[in-house]
Amino acid sequence: MPRILKSLIATACVALVLSASALATRIMVVSNIHYMDRALYQGSELFIRALRAGDGKYAQFGDELMAALCDQVRALRPDALIVTGDLTFNGERDSHAALAGWFARIEAQGTPVWVIPGNHDINVTSARGFAGDGWYAVPPVAPEEFCAIYADHMLPPEGGAGLSYAVDVNSSLRVAMTDVAYYEGGAQTFGLFTAGHAAWLEEALSGAGGTELITATHHSLLPHTRFSQESFLMFGHEAMEALALKHGVRLNLSGHMHAQHIARQGALADAALGAFCSWPHRYALVTLDRGALTYQAKSLDPVFLPEGFLEDSRAWFEGIAREKTEAALEGVDEDDQALMAGFAARFNLAYFAGTYDRDDPAWRDDPAYRLWRARADEPFGQYLNLVMDEPTGDNLCCAFNPD
Ligand SMILES: [Fe+2]
């Protein structure tokens, strides 16, 4: 959608909100689409094998997922769709271009789409396509190309803070789209909030009057888990957190973890959204209604997906965890191995969906639980025991009452 048209729509929205201030604002959020242009993998067994050895991405069905997202947005008619990074599988230029086509389709339905990059989007030197049993290098995108491809889904970056920009969804809500991905000289996994980001964010969050302020990042703003904290939590998070608190930000939208998880610290929550590319294909709805702010994680409605899609996607995700666990348990008694692998696969599903409850006795009463406890010193057992023991709360919903 051309920016001028978007601006006219935004102005019309502001007028509507002014004339009917009781109307709620709703934004939809997705993260980690990891979209791959079908032409880059069609018919390749190697691509399927690479996915099978991965973390559960159902990226061979990116078009089916994007078509469902279009339908979901049309059904919900939110005021905006926010995408918090890792737009593409691994930074392929063709994937970015094709995904921008899907976003144009969503905008044609009347919902503006706003994006920031993640760690798999810009200057990814390992971007590749797949053919048959082999692969080939494909062009990645530089920051300028990223801006050109998504010109209708970003505002011009203001400098000093990567590709960050602030968007007024309407007169009630501003979202500071904060690009903390690090891609100078090649994409890195970590996120970094610099002094330049701080100067930009201070300005972006100032002078907003009675407007609700939300921030959006790819990497986590708050600590979520003791496992692999260093790669999820952005460096410099303390400075961003201080600014968020100073300006009354109550919610940050992130996604890098791929697992659905909400971290809370005082008046601030960081909602890490489950990866859209993996079962159960999460999106979130954020509602602002007379000062009350609510975040609710949901899953794509199966009516928008091919029959059996969700069941197959769940089996794919579960099967990957099961196979990895079996490999890690080589040499263990066959019966114990089957019990433990089944347990780990079920746990993984629940953990990534954001529905794992440490206090649910069903986990501890499972015969495999005791077996895993006995292997707490081994690499996979260590991970499982660490994550199983973490405090759990409501990882799907958080709500803030009016100030
Ligand atoms: Fe990702």
Distance 86 CA to ligand 1 centre (A): 5
What is the distance in A from the centroid of ligand 1 to the CA of 201?
A: 24
Q: How far is the CA of 321 from the centre of ligand 1 (A)?
A: 17
What DSSP character marks residue 15?
H
pLDDT digits (tens, 9 = 90+) for 291-326: 999 999 999 999 999 999 999 999 999 999 999 898
Centre of ligand 1 to C-alpha 256, Å, is 5
Q: Are residues 252 and 320 in the same domain?
A: no
Same domain, 214 and 324: no
Same domain, yes or no: 66 and 105: yes
When pLDDT is cut at 50, 70 and 90, the band that residue 18 belongs to is very low
**Distance, CA 32 to ligand 1 centroid (Å)?**
5
* Least confident range of 17-21, 47-51, 378-382: 17-21
- Is the predicted pLDDT of residue 12 greater than 60, yes or no? no
Expressed in angstroms, the distance from the first to the final Cα of the chain is: 36
Instruction: Give residue 382's domain range.
Output: 309-388
Burial class (CB in 10 A: 0-12, 13-18, 19+), 130: buried
258 CA to centre of ligand 1 in angstroms: 6
Report how far ligand 1's centroid is from the alpha carbon of 118 (Å): 7
Q: How many domains does the chain have?
A: 2
Considering the domain architecture, whether residues 247 and 313 belong to the same structural domain is answered as no
| DSSP class per residue in 356-402 | --TT-HHHHHSHHHHHHHTTTTSHHHHHHHHHHTS----SSEEEE--
Report the distance separating Cα 217 and Cα 203, nearest Å.
Answer: 17
Same domain, 328 and 227: no
Instruction: Give per-residue pLDDT as tens, 321-353.
Output: 999 898 888 888 999 999 999 999 999 999 999
- Please indicate, yes or no, whether residues 297 and 317 belong to a single structural domain of this protein: no
Domain shared by 250 and 337, yes or no: no
DSSP 169-212: EETTEEEEE---B--TTS--SSBB--HHHHHHHHHHHSS-TT-E
Cβ neighbours around 358 below 10 Å, total = 13
Antiparallel, parallel or unpaired: β 212-216 and 282-289: unpaired
> 396, 392, 397: which is closest to 357 by C-alpha?
392
Shared domain for 136 and 266, answered yes or no, is yes
User: Residue 289 C-alpha to ligand 1 middle, in angstroms?
Assistant: 31
CATH of the domain at 151: 3.60.21.10
213 shares its domain with 324: no
Cα(264)–Cα(39) distance, integer angstroms: 42
Q: How far is the CA of 255 from the centre of ligand 1 (A)?
A: 7
* 8 A C-beta contact, residue 174 and residue 208: yes
pLDDT tens track for 107-129: 999 999 999 999 999 999 999 99
| 175: its two tokens | 């979202």
How remote is the CA of residue 150 from the centroid of ligand 1, in Å? Answer: 19
Q: Which are the contacts of 59, defined by CB distance < 8 A and separation ≥ 6?
A: 34, 35, 36, 51, 89, 277
Task: Give me ligand 1 centre to Cα 291, in Å.
Answer: 32
Task: Give 375 Cα–ligand 1 centroid separation in angstroms.
Answer: 29
Q: How far apart are CA 274 and CA 283, in angstroms?
A: 8
22 Cα: distance to centroid of ligand 1 (angstroms): 37
Cα 6 to ligand 1 centroid, rounded to whole Å: 29
Distance separating alpha carbons of residues 54 and 64, to the nearest angstrom: 20
Q: How far is the CA of 167 from the centre of ligand 1 (A)?
A: 23
In the reported structure, the alpha carbon of residue 333 is separated from the centroid of ligand 1 by a whole-number distance in angstroms of 35
* Shared domain check, 190 and 211: yes
Q: Can you give the pLDDT at residue 228?
A: 63
Residues 299, 320, single domain; the answer is no
- Give the span between the Cα atoms of 85 and 124, in whole angstroms: 14
Give ∠ CA 117-251-19 in degrees, rounded to 5: 100
Reading phi first (left if > 0) and then psi (alpha if -120 to 50, else beta), residue 347 is in alpha
CA of 79 to the centre of ligand 1 (A): 25
pLDDT band with cut points at 50, 70 and 90 for residue 248? very high
Q: Tell me the CA–centroid distance for residue 24 and ligand 1, in Å.
A: 31
Say how many Å lie between the CA of residue 9 and the centre of ligand 1.
32
